[in-house]
Each structure stands twice: as structure tokens, then as C-alpha cells.
Structure 1
Amino acid sequence: MSPQSVRRRSKDEPTPGSAAAAATTGDGGKNLRARKMAMAKRGLRSLSVALATPLCLTLLTTYLFGATRGYAAVSRPFWRPPVWAFHLASLSSACLMGLSAWLVWADGGFRRQPAALPLYLTELALSLAWGPVVLGAGAMRLGLAVCMALFAALLGCSQLFRRVNPIAGDLVKPCLAWVCFLAVCNYKMLM
């Protein structure tokens, strides 16, 4: 090999065996890039479904059963938030739980922890039931029972989700705090 045939490679030019070289030259890079883009689109689609489903169900429940008959029947002390704040916090809680469930699903946690999916669906059903029971019908005792069951379901979700993804388990904590506040409000409305 003669010195005239040796060419210097600049620092910006990728090495022949690197992934950057495969991404910029040849058909293998295009396939890899297309596969990564398709996987990202599927992930984004599944995330939007995981967030939109509980959000839409909560909005529908609020719209259909969000009457304030039971809530308005009790005189409202200064520490109890207005009804719109209850609905907004319920929507936020539903989004957090949807994101947490998506993180568990993305890590394959519903296969590794088979009890996680039924527990999440139970939590979703109970969180949808609280508003119509307490704010709509004014059944404070039943609302307190729903709060206790919801707290137990959230606690179970937190523990199972934490085993799969610690961030998913941490996202359940604000929901636990919200349910504790709901239980205190329910209890005070009974008095």
C-alpha cells in the first residue's frame, strides 16, 4: 500500500463499522431508521390512548352525573374546594394513573404482574363511581366506602407498579393523597 493511496479521514466522518455510518450510507441504515420511527409512532399512539381513555371516561362521567345535588345540600366550609376543583383534580388523577399504567405496560409489567391490570381497572371504575355517588346522589356513607376501596386499590397499584417501574409507582402517590383528601371531605360531610 503506497502512502499516496492512504487517505486521511476527518473527525466528522463516521468510521466504517459504526451505527452512524450505517444510518448515513446503505440500505441498512434506512431500515433501522424506519423501524425506530415506526416504534416511536406506536409508542406515541399507545400513550395517547392510555391518557385519553381515562380522561374521556372521567369527562363523560362528570358531564352525565356531575350534578351537585348532594354536595350543595351540605353547607360548604371554607376548607372544602368548589365542585369544579373536585372535577379538575379527578381529571388530573385519571391522567396520572393513565400515564402510570402506560409506563407499566411499556415495560411489560402487565405480563410480569398479572394482578396489576385488574387492580388498575378496579381503581378506574371506583374513581369514576365516586363523583356520581357523592356529588350527584348525595350518598355520603357509600361515598366513604368507595373512597376506602379506592385507597386500597391505589395502594395495591402503587406497590405492583413500583415493582415494574419505580417512576410509575411514584406517579400513584399524588392520587393516593387526593383520595385521602376525598375521604376526609366525605367524612366531614357526614358530620
Structure 2
Amino acid sequence: MHSLLVLVAFQVASFAAAATGVMFRPGDWYKQLDKPDWRPPDWLFAPVWTVLYASIGLSGWLLWREAGVTGAALPLGVYAVQLLLNAAWSPLFFGLHRPGLAAAEIMLLWGAILATIILFYPANAAAALLLVPYLMWVSFAAALNLSIWRRNRSKPLSEGAR
């Protein structure tokens, strides 16, 4: 029963990071931006992120189950950092309308995800491998973020494309 409660806690933590994406929606500002043709349709983001957040939570739980908090303090600390960085992206991009700042932040997120994978792998390979699709999606999201920033950075600041 304790293990199941910890799994729920990891899922809650993971989906809590997703909450900023619900609070800071794309809206009219985003619709007006110049975006690349290779951008996926808007409807695709929610289901992809839902699967990824479930995998992120499961990954953390698998590592905890294998090593415990004290046995995996560093990997779980880096895991927490990547969740915080994940939560910060939507407010920067959609909330503050700062694609340039969000691009810098997503690079930090990418590094934190990679570090989490590297730190998880020795203790639990499955936990590490569950994060690979997340790293791939964030790689794609970073490319999209950079493209949107480059395409819109010459717009007046009042349009928010900084």
C-alpha cells in the first residue's frame, strides 16, 4: 500500500508541473506568431504531454522503489529540478510572451532531463529509458521554440515576441 501511495505522489508531482500549461494557455498572442510549417497541430500537444507526464511520474517511482530516497538523493534531486524547469516554461513562453527567455530555459530543461536519465540508468534502466521519449519531445519543442523566437524577434515588443 505504501508503494502505491508513493506512486500516486510521483504522479501528482509530475502532473503538478503540467498545471502551468493549463494556467498559461497559448491564446491569441500565440495564434498571431509566425510559426514554422513543421509545427504539429495544436490538438496533438495535450495527448503527447499527458503520456509523457505519466511516464515521468512512473520513472521517478521506479527509481524510488529501487533505491529509496536516501539511496537516490542526487538522482531524485535532479529529477525534481527538471520538474521545476518543466513547470517554468509555459509561464515564460505563454504567460510573459518571452520566447527568447523560454528558449534559454528549455535548454536548461533539456540538460536536466539528460542528467536525470544518466543518473537514473545505473540504479534502474527502465526508469531511465522511460524518460527518453520526454527528452526527444523536449528536443523537438526546443527546436520549435527557437524557430518561433527567430521568426518573431524583430516584431515590436508590444507584440511580445522578445
The normalised TM-score by structure 1 is 0.70
1:107 aligns with 2:94: no
Question: 1:51-62 to 2 correspondence within 5 Å?
Answer: 51-58=11-18, 60-62=19-21
The structure-2 alpha-carbon separation of the partners of 1:68 and 1:85, relative to structure 1 and needing over 3 Å to count, comes to farther
CA contact (8 A) 1:123 1:153 kept: yes
| 2:116 equivalent among 157, 160, 164 | 157
How many aligned residue pairs are there?
A: 150
Question: 1:1-191 to 2 correspondence within 5 Å?
Answer: 41-58=1-18, 60-191=19-150
User: Which stretch of the first structure deviates more once superposed, 65-74 or 153-162?
Assistant: 65-74
Larger radius of gyration: 1
- Extract unaligned runs of 5+ from structure 2: 151-162
CA contact (8 A) 1:51 1:99 kept: yes
The structure-2 alpha-carbon separation of the partners of 1:178 and 1:148, relative to structure 1 and needing over 3 Å to count, comes to same
C-alpha distance in structure 1 between counterparts of 2:33 and 2:126, whole Å: 39
For residue 75 of structure 2, what is the amino acid of its counterpart? A
The structure-2 alpha-carbon separation of the partners of 1:132 and 1:89, relative to structure 1 and needing over 3 Å to count, comes to farther
Shift of 1:95: 1.7
The normalised TM-score by structure 2 is 0.82
Shift of 1:57: 4.1
For residue 156 of structure 1, what is the amino acid of its counterpart? A
Q: Aligned residues: percent identity?
A: 30
Q: CA RMSD for the aligned pairs?
A: 1.9
C-alpha distance in structure 2 between counterparts of 1:70 and 1:121, whole Å: 30
CA contact (8 A) 1:123 1:154 kept: yes
- Extract unaligned runs of 5+ from structure 1: 1-40
Higher RCO, Cα 8 Å, sep 6+: 2
What do the CA deviations read for 1:27-79 (whole angstroms, capped 9, x no partner)? xxxxxxxxxxxxxx222222122213322441x32232224344223133432
C-alpha distance in structure 2 between counterparts of 1:94 and 1:135, whole Å: 19
